[in-house]
Structure formats: C-alpha cells, structure tokens
Structure 1
Amino acid sequence: MDKPAEMFDRAYEWSALSRFITDPQPGATLGVVSGRRRQGKTFLLDAACRAAGGFYFGATEAADAESLRRISTALTAHVRPASPFHFADWSEAVDALLALGSDRPLPVVIDEFPYLAKANPELPSIIQEALRPLRNQRTGSRTRLLLCGSALSFMGRLLSGNAPLRGRAGLEVVVRPLDHRLAAQFWGITDPHLAMKVNAIVGGTPAYRREFARGDTPAGPDDFDNWVVRTVLNPETPLFREARYLLAEEPDLRDTALYLSVLAAVADGNATRGCMASYLERKATDIAHPINVLEDAGLLRRDADAFRDNRPTYRIAEPLIGFHHAIMRPVWDQLERPGSAARVWQASRRRFVSNVLGPHFEQVCRGWALHHADPGLLGGLPARVGHGTVHDSRTRTGHEVDVAVIGIADGAKPPLLAIGEVKWNDTVGTAHIDRLRHIRGLVAQAGRYDTSGTRLFCFSGAGFNDKARAVAEAEADVQLIDLATIYGEI
C-alpha cells in the first residue's frame, strides 16, 4: 500500500498497518489502533481503507439500535447486495463484516469503537466469539478487523487482564503526537527557539495546525506573541476551548470540577500527591482516584524519581491542557471578552516562561536524551531517562536533577550515564557545571548507581558563556547542549 502524499510522516504506523492488512495468511485477524484525539487516526485508517478497498465505519455516541441501523446502511452502500442489510444484533453484523474478506485480505475499520461498547458492553465478547479459532466464519475469512478509539482508558483495558479480547489481537498501534522535531517540520518552523515556544503550547498534535489554527503559523520569532493572541487566546478559534473539550470527551471523568482542580494544581507547580492535596485542601487519599483516572486517560503522567523510591512526581501530558490551566483558566472571564487577549498575554508572559515553557523544555531535553542523542555522546545506550532529587545529608538539602540518564545494568549496579541541568532563560556558566560535579559525588556516595563514567550535560535555551565553553573543550565528560543540537536539522 502506497502512503498518501498528503500524509505527513506516520511512516511507522502506515508500515505496520500495511503489513497487517496485506498479510495473506488465512483466517480473520484483529487489530487495535488507539491514541488521543486530533492525532490523525481517522485520516490514517480511512486512507488505509481507500488504498486497499476496505470498509470504514465511524461510530457515533448513540443507542445500540441506532448504531446497528447505521452500520447496516453503511455496509449496504459498500457491498450493494440484492437486498439491504437489516442486522438484528451485533453477532449478525460482525459475521457480515468477516464475510467481506472471503476472497482476499481486506481492512474493515470500526472507528470510535468505545461508543459502541458503551451502548452495548457485550460487544467485545461478541467479537471474541466471532474470532474463535475453529469457527467457520473466521477460518473462511481474511478480514483484517481494526478497532479504533480515542478513549485511552477504555482502549487500554480492551486487551488487558481478563478482557474478552485479551490474546486475540495481532496488531496494536498507538498513534502518538509528533515529537518536537517532527512538530517543528509540520508547522514549518525553522528557528529552534520559536519552535520550542510553539511546541510548549500546542505540542505535536497535527490537527491543531491544519483544522484548529487554519494553517496560521508564526511568521517568525517576532510574530510569536501576536500568534498566541490571534489563535490560542482568541475566543473565535477552536483552540480557545479545546483544552476543556479534551477533558469532557473522556468517558471515565464524571466529577469534572475535581479533575480540573487536580490539573490546575499540577500546572501551578504541585508535582507530588502531597503538594496537590495541600493545594486543594484535601487529604491525599481523596485525590488518589482522580489522579489514577487522569493517568489512565493519558492526561496526567507519573514520573518516578530516579534517586528516591516511592517519590513519584506528576506532569500534565498534553501541552495545550497545561497552557490552559496555567495561563487561561485563572483569567477565563477576561479572555471570553473580545479584545482582552493582548492585555492578558502581556501580563502572563512571565508565568508562561516559568510554569509552561521551562518545564516543557526540561521534558523535551529528557526526550532528546532517550530518543535522539547518540549513545556515544551519552557513554552508552540509555535504558531510561528521568529526573529526581539527590539528598545532601551534610547540608540537609535536596538537589534537583533535571535529566538523569540510566544505562543498562551489566553488573550489580546500573550505570548512571549522565546527569544534566536544564535552563531556558539563563546563560550557563561554570557554576552550573560545578553543581553537577557536586551532585555526581553525592550519587557516588549513595552507592545506588555506578558513577565511574557519569557525564555532565548542560542544556540551555539562552546559550553558554566563554568559561563554560572552555571547560567543555578541556574536559571530555562535560557536554553543552543547545537548541540547535536538540532540534537537529529542521
């Protein structure tokens, strides 16, 4: 299957779908495609159906009987049988879908599958029965049935534990947001500094450029502030209310006020459960369930502390939601009034840098170390990259480590390949390097990691002074990483 020319990237996802759809082996097979909304799943699957002559059905939030009528009508239009389909139940419908692949491998896509399963919870079990190994309808078919959904909490449970479809799927694809490099290319931004600021607001969601911003991108670094005012903070654009809709679309979120407050607490810098509980003036046990639900929905992400056990921190997984809670939600009434966006943004830029851009830059640096950095530069292949706090017993203080690169353990202790400090607005000097040296010594004393080859990385969006550059040139274990390095060639 040839990937459509208008499809940006998604080469990995398209290749996986192509192999699954064109697999000539006999027997119907099941695949699952998931991912947050606006990532291009529907475009991807619809293109696959068009390329292979398959059948695509997009479910809606409706009663079970209405959904059966809709799929009957859609399948009748696709197959054009002598008499139209009128499915009495989903067993009949699934058998008819399997019959489509009787002659050749054929993709059959059911998009927004959670809507159907919500109206009829027995549907996964019905599909399980239809795909039973020795069932004639399955063995005589080469239908490649693809279930797709945006409700991450539901899709995550679809193939897990004792779920009916556990062990039935031959393909599981997660359509993720574009990373910082691909997002810059997609938005047509060649300046790394500007690309990072835009990415801190809209992340790597493709739909935010084409549909939501109608192709409006910053003309250059000097146009960034105006772009924020005319798109994200403009009540006339879809981006203005998108963060609210993302939360409302999750089926497992019922008490939205509490979930909004939890996200607001994290956006305000309260990264631990204790800090969140204090911010909300509640007990930590009271917010345990909302945190878990937000995690399952892909809106909140838990990061383990690389140096202390059982001390996880939390961050908002979707940049637009973080921007909304840090910048827009506190002054929502003002923003809804036309003409107020410029005034609000003027007063919010400092908060944007400290609460949104700075933490996002740190996360991008961790992602660069894990996915893009040359293992030779790091001193080995990273097993995981995180952050944490190193305790200094002598001064009774904790030292924050923005980037901690842990390697693959060959011996008793895993190697700590690198530790790093991230500064967006500060020019990095020798004091930052000396601080990392001190932290490396503290980690060595703790004995948890092998620090014999630990390298020191300084990340900066503002650059490095001459003394820091001189140290990096003289000492092989010191690396200075600027935005050009993080973005590569864009």
Structure 2
Amino acid sequence: MFIGRKRELATLRRLYKTESFRLPVIYGRRRVGKTSLIAHFTAALPTIFFTAIEDSTQANLRNLSREYFLFEHPDADPAGAPVFPDFQTAFESIFTLARQRRIVLVIDEYPYLAKAEPSVSSILQMLIDRNKDASRLFMILCGSSLSFMREQVLSEKSPLYGRRTAQLEIKPLDFFESLDFFPEANSIDAACYYGMVGGIPLYLKQFDPTLTLSENIEAAFLDPSSLLFEEPTNLVKQEVKKAATYNAVIGAIADGKTTSNEIATTVGSTSAEINYPLKELQRIGLVERELPFGDKRRRGVYRLSDNLFAFWYRFILPSKSLVERGLSTRVLGRIEEHLPEYMGPVFEQICREWLWRQNAANALPFEFDNANRWWGSNPATHAQEEIDIVCAEQSHVTAVCECKWRNQAMEASVLKTLDRRAPLVNAGSEAYRCVFAKTGFTEGCKELTRQNDKYKLITFEDMLQSVVL
C-alpha cells in the first residue's frame, strides 16, 4: 500500500497532463521514498524506467539499452537487447519515440550515471534544447545525493540549468502522515515509533502494529539481523569518508552536547577540526544548526534532525556489544526507562507539525510565518529560561507554547510559567499561551482558561482529532 505524498503526486499528474515536454527533478535523502513515489506515479503509464548504478559507462549503457528494448518489445528476451553505441544515440532514440506519443523516461540515481559518463548532462542539455518543442517526453531525473542534485542539476553552473520544469525535494513524512502505517496501534505507541525512526517509510515498515511497543523495539533494533541494527552507520559510510569522525560527532550530539566546544571536547578534537564534519552533516541533512527565536547574533546549537540517528546513537550504539552478546533484554530495560525523556523533544516536533498544518488551513485563532524554540537568560533573575515554540507573524509574536510529554495531568503552574516567560520574547498580553500535553490538564489549569480566552489547552488526543490532513 502506498501512503502519503498526495501533494507530490498531484504535481506530477498535473505536469503529465500538459502533453508537452516536461523535466521534473526529484531529489531527497536515501530511503525517503523517491523511487516508490515515481513507481506509484508511473504504474499505469508508458514508462522507460532506468536506474543508474555505480559502475562503468558501458554497464549503464547496457542497462538503459535493455530498458528501451523491453519498452518496445515487452515480451522479448532481454538477453537479446541490442546495445546503443553511446548515450547520445540512446537518448535521441527516446526523444524521437516521444514525438508520436507521451512517454515517461525515469533516470533514477542520476548522480551515478553522471559519475560514470561525465558528459551526460551536456548531452541532455543539447537534446532538450533541440527537441523540447516537438517532443512529448516526460523525463524524470532522480537522485539521493543532495549536494550533487542541488549543485550539478539545479544550480546555475549545471548544463541543465533552466531546463527543468519543476523540482520536488522529497522529505520525510510528518507524524500525522506516518499514522497510516499503524492503523491498529494506539496513538502513544505510534508517536514513539515516529520518535525512533522519523518519517522514512522503509523504517516505519519495520514495526508490526500487532506487536507491543517493547516487542517492536526488540525486533527492530535489538536483533543483530534486523535492518535498523546497523543502518545509521551504513548510511554514514555511504555519504562521507573517514566515517569514524562523523560517528563520534553524531554520538556527541545525541548525548546532549550541542555546542561546537562541547562536541569537540567529547570527541577529543578542536572546534576548528570538527567544523568541516559538522558542515557535511548539515549538508546531508542529519544535523541542523538551531538559533533561538529572534536572535541571529548568537552562536547556534547543533541538533540531530533525523529521529533514527537521534534514537540509535543515544540508545543502540552504546549498547551494541550487549545486544551482540545476547543481552538485549537489559538494553530494552534501559530504553524503556529513558524513552519518556527522549520523547520530550519529539513531542515538540509533533506539536510544531500540528501547528503548521492548522496554520495552513486557517484553523487557528492566530497566524504565523515562523515557529521556533527560544532559550536564553532572564535579565531579571539571570537564570536560563526556555520556551518550546514561539510563533510569530513578521516578527510579531502571536503565540508562545509549552509541550509536555508526561503521564500526569498538567497543573496551572505550567500556564503561569509560560505567562511569566512570554515577555522574554516580547509577547504581549494579546499573544496566545498554548500548552500541549500528552494526557490532560488539572481542573485548576482548566479554570484559568475559562478566565482568559488567550489560554489554550491542547491534548495529544485533541491534536489527532483536529489535525487537517
């Protein structure tokens, strides 16, 4: 069953209906579901689906020739497929074929092809310019190397610059889309699964909705034969050289070290020496640099932007040897003990996703174009304070929010603390005060909302019932 990607599918279908030449570029991190999206879109369409490989020019040319031959002769033996003399001839034949009818040409893992045949982008540029007015070809270029796709396909220095007709960056599903993977699971468990692996469809499929949360953790993470047991380190090895340094940096961030000095000290290096690994990890989408709301002058902090990496480097990597020695039950106990604490930032992420969805649907009593965390020193007390989410419209604060993943009902003190902190981000009395809670609120907390309509109490269940999909 194909889940999500409604907006992306709608875009591709709209482009396809034009009947004229189109070149959408699709890119996104590995495992995010690009190929599944394209396969679903092309399922009922006349398609030449060519997946490039990390091999020679000739090997890729043979594969493209075979796909072309099977497209023309679906019942033929692929072993008898003639091989084009070169890529220019192959692509010219496809453009010619597309003069008579609408054809989709998919080049998946395009960076591999460009590495094997460096002239391929220039060849495509020439053929597009020559044929675009008469051809009905629908060509999709797809790639997992974010830097290559941005710099060698989409940027001004690329021969293909100006030829694309659309670009789609495929990002992980948000929490509310991921719920479709767990129709039988309770919502708390589903949130935990999302917290462990994020919105990557392949990873979400590793959980069996008929099993308990503990059973799924054991099966997905604490079995040395499972996909996820070594997945993060394998992905790092595919993306960078000297993976040991990157693993150490990721591990330090997962352990709560967020500044460059803290990270450098943990890995036994200097801030200057880890600067490049941090930039590379940001480039490939595993780390992000976060600044407090409204403050662009301070040094930001680093956080893992991928839930699988945050969970795996915190809980699995430090205990791999125990799992390999058959002590997975002991590791599971440690995970269960600290999972509620780990889920705190994940719940903030889910609340932010809910706010953006509701904001886009005009389903909130306030509007915003920016929603970020704030932290800093309180000038009056010199104590460090934090606000989980600050919503603002053109720098004007419209709401401040607190997010609590706790089993007990939230007391009135949470709202009072939020009220006290609001002036630290210049939030006036007109700004809403929102508290998101895993379970619910005490009667005293509810009483405050009856006295002031700027106070909003939202439970996790409220979010699930009201979210605009």
For normalisation by structure 1, the TM-score amounts to 0.87
Picking from 246, 254, 264, the partner of 1:277 is 264
Q: CA deviation at 1:328?
A: 0.4
Aligned counterparts of 1:198 and 1:439: Cα–Cα separation in 2 = 32
- Structure 1 residues 40 and 100, CA gap change in structure 2 (3 angstroms): farther
Note if contact 1:201-1:320 (Cα within 8 Å) is conserved in structure 2. Answer: yes
Q: Is the 8 A contact 1:107 1:145 kept in 2?
A: yes
User: How many angstroms does 1:85 deviate by?
Assistant: 4.1
The equivalent residue for 1:217 is 209
Distance (whole Å) between structure 1 residues aligned to residue 186 and residue 31 of structure 2: 25
Unmatched 5+ residue regions in structure 1? Answer: 1-5, 445-449
Q: Which amino acid aligns with 1:278?
A: T
% same residue? 28
> 389, 393, 403: which one pairs with 2:389?
403
Deviation of the 1:378 alpha carbon: 4.7
Q: Are 1:472 and 2:460 counterparts?
A: no
Shift in Å, 1:180:
0.9
In structure 1, the residue matched to 2:69 is 76
Measure, in 1, the Cα distance between the counterparts of 2:399 and 2:292: 15
The Cα shift of 1:280 comes to 2.3
In the alignment, which residue of structure 2 is the partner of 1:287?
Answer: 274
Change (3 A) 1:113 1:432: same
Would the aligned equivalents of 2:102 and 2:137 in 1 still touch at CA under 8 Å? yes
Query: In the aligned structure 1, how far is the partner of 2:237 from the partner of 2:413?
Result: 46
CA contact (8 A) 1:209 1:217 kept: no
1:488 partner SS: helix
Q: Is the 8 A contact 1:308 1:389 kept in 2?
A: no
1:150 is the counterpart of 2:132: no
Whether the 8 Å CA contact 1:358–1:424 is kept in 2: the answer is yes
| Residue of structure 2 equivalent to 1:201 | 196
Within a 5 Å distance, the mapping from 1:256-335 to structure 2 comes to 256-310=243-297, 311-335=299-323
Residue 469 of structure 2 corresponds to residue 483 of structure 1: no
| Structure-1 residue corresponding to 2:432 | 455
2:2–2:40 CA contact under 8 A, matched in 1: no
Q: Is the 8 A contact 1:109 1:145 kept in 2?
A: yes
Q: Which residue in the other structure is 1:56 paired with? A: 49
Gap runs ≥5 in structure 2: none
Within 5 Å, which residues of 2 pair with 1:104-115? Answer: 104-115=101-112
Instruction: Give the conservation status (yes or no) of the 8 Å contact 2:48–2:71.
Output: yes
| 8 Å contact from structure 2 (residues 366, 399) kept in 1 | no
Aligned pair count reads 460
Which deviations, in whole Å up to 9, do the C-alpha atoms of 1:422-475 show, x marking residues without a partner?
22126422222122111112333xxxxx63521111122143222111112221
Q: Distance in 1 between matches of 2:455 and 2:18?
A: 50
Superposed, 1:62-211 pairs within 5 Å as 62-80=55-73, 85-132=82-129, 135=130, 137-157=131-151, 158-189=153-184, 191-210=186-205
Alignment partner of 1:12 out of 7, 27, 36:
7
Provide the C-alpha distance between the structure 2 equivalents of 1:192 and 1:260, rounded to a whole number of angstroms.
32
Task: Kindly state the Cα deviation for residue 346 of structure 1 after the two structures are TM-superposed.
Answer: 0.5
One-letter code aligned to 1:11: K
CA deviation string 1:50-103 (max 9, x = no partner) = 312121111222112211121112212222499954333322222223223111
* Cα distance, 1:327 vs structure 2: 0.2
Give 1:403 shift.
Answer: 0.7
Which residue in the other structure is 2:229 paired with?
A: 240
Structure 1 position 108, deviation (Å): 0.6
Distance 1:84 1:225 in 2: 51
In structure 2, the CA distance between the partners of 1:172 and 1:376, relative to structure 1 (3 Å rule), is closer
Is the partner of 2:258 in helix, strand or coil? Answer: coil
Residues 1:344 and 1:69: Cα distance change in structure 2 (over 3 Å): same
Q: Displacement of 1:405 after TM fit?
A: 0.7
Instruction: Determine helix, strand or coil for the equivalent of 2:132.
Output: helix
Is the contact between residue 66 and residue 81 of structure 2 (CA under 8 Å) also seen in structure 1? yes
Distance 1:378 1:46 in 2: 37
What SS is found at the alignment partner of 1:74?
helix
